[in-house]
Structure 1
Amino acid sequence: MTQQDLSSKQPLIIGVSGGSGSGKTTIARRLIKDLGAQSIALLQMDSYYKQLDLPYEERKRQNFDHPLSFDTDLLVSDLKKLRNFQSIEVPIYDFVKSNRTGETRHQEAADVIVLEGIFVLYDQRLRDLMDIKVFVDTDDDIRLIRRIKRDVDHRGYTLETIFDQYLEHVRPMYQQFIEPTKRYADVIIPEGGANEVAIDLLTSKIRYLMYQRTKSKNSVDS
């Protein structure tokens, strides 16, 4: 079997990256909604934060915006399994407790896999598995406002905690590690989920690639 034949039988993998609060999750969910007729799996890198065997007060002080805070080895392994149409067990992370729960979520294989997270374009092993690499580019002030609303409403953080994290970890880590990965992107989407034109173009491209793979697969099978 040739490499072309093999790729036609593998799922389409789309990586969606960007800073915290950029709108990458919104775009990932829009893609799933707009491609609703297809078999699609959403894999979020946030699920792969490392287990921390530390007291709660120490866990809260950790830098969760550094690449080493993620179990990227496990994520790469799981993505390869999905690529080979094998199911996986995704860790469940509790953001209030800043740790894994010890439980997992079963994820079946799918024809399209959307991988979303701040560092999905950082590790070459992940990039090499992707068919389309997307970077969501949103202004710093908009991202901060969205982060405040999310962390207050859904994670129970105080404003003091949010601002301390932003100044000590989020902003410098974005500038050092995340923003530079924009050069690896095939598509850069300004202003996140509000950019309807970019989302429509991306959706059309994914549909076209899926059509080409289906056509190639049918040709090989026949």
Structure 2
Amino acid sequence: MTEKKPVFFIIIAGGTASGKSTVARKIAHDLKNKPVTHLSMDNYYKNFADLSFAERQKINYDHPHSLDIDLLSKHLTQLKNRESIDVPVYDFKTHSRSKETKKVEPADVVILDGLLALHIKEIRDMADLKVFIKTEDDVRFIRRLERDIYDRGRSTESVIAQYLNTVKPMHDAFVAPSMDLADIIVPYYEGNDRAVDLVTTKVKAIIRKNNK
């Protein structure tokens, strides 16, 4: 019986709109000779479909309690065992899960990005490499404002209120302290591809070592 090759698991954490998904996609692209699976913790919010839309709007989505950690842990374990998973599809316009799921196949490298990916111990302990994306607060806020207005149909007032009431306090309480748990801290801004290249080079070196 052929022994399964180990799956290399990368966590990418950082504040809202810090560039986590962008960095994850860049790493996946640079590892194009390796099968790579990219997951976002954004799809693992708990299903609040039983609540009214007004009630869902009041939920603190930046607190760890808003995430379905059990399902995410189960899925990551399945991917590490080279089993396929059905990832929930989250609708940010309605603050609820879609009825659809997305089939994700196992790969040699699994990349997970999320605000709280380093804060949550069950997830952090599974990682082979832990990365934190450090981006200036004002840059992150402007990016989030534009994203939530144009992509998620939010009003300027609602985005600002959410940022002040939950996003920033939760960042200070959970996200920023998790930077100390990272193996690599990437100062990210537009065009800083060298930092991503360094991470990719490190990943390639570790994978080669693990597969000897």
Task: Confirm or deny that 1:76 pairs with 2:82.
Answer: no
Match of 1:14 among 10, 34, 39: 10
Q: Which structure has more helix as a fraction of its residues?
A: 1
Match of 1:115 among 105, 112, 115: 112
TM-score with structure 1 setting the length: 0.91
Contact 1:92 1:100 in 2 (8 A): yes
> Runs of 5+ in structure 1 lacking a partner?
1-5, 216-222
TM-score with structure 2 setting the length: 0.95
Contact 1:91 1:100 in 2 (8 A): yes
Counting only pairs closer than 5 Å after superposition, residues 77-116 of structure 1 correspond to structure 2 as 77-116=74-113
Contact 2:188 2:195 in 1 (8 A): no
- C-alpha distance after superposition, 1:47-75 (max 9, x if no partner): 00000120011111211111100001110
Amino acid at match of 1:152: I
Structure 1 segments (4+ residues) deviating >4 Å: none
Partner residue in 2 for 1:48: 44
Match of 1:31 among 19, 27, 30: 27
Identity %: 42
How many Å separate the matches in 2 of 1:167 and 1:178? 15
Partner residue in 2 for 1:169: 166
How many Å separate the matches in 1 of 2:134 and 2:189? 7
Amino acid at match of 1:33: H
Partner residue in 2 for 1:59: 56
Partner residue in 2 for 1:188: 185
How many Å separate the matches in 1 of 2:190 and 2:106? 26
How many Å separate the matches in 1 of 2:75 and 2:57? 27
Deviation at 1:192, TM superposition (A): 4.6
How many Å separate the matches in 1 of 2:189 and 2:12? 11
Deviation at 1:93, TM superposition (A): 0.4
Contact 2:20 2:113 in 1 (8 A): yes
Counting only pairs closer than 5 Å after superposition, residues 136-175 of structure 1 correspond to structure 2 as 136-175=133-172
How many Å separate the matches in 1 of 2:188 and 2:105? 32
Partner residue in 2 for 1:209: 206
SS of 2:151's partner is: helix
Amino acid at match of 2:208: Y
How many Å separate the matches in 1 of 2:91 and 2:128? 30
Contact 1:24 1:193 in 2 (8 A): no
> Runs of 5+ in structure 2 lacking a partner?
none
C-alpha RMSD of the superposition? 1.3
How many Å separate the matches in 1 of 2:112 and 2:42? 10
How many Å separate the matches in 1 of 2:116 and 2:185? 15
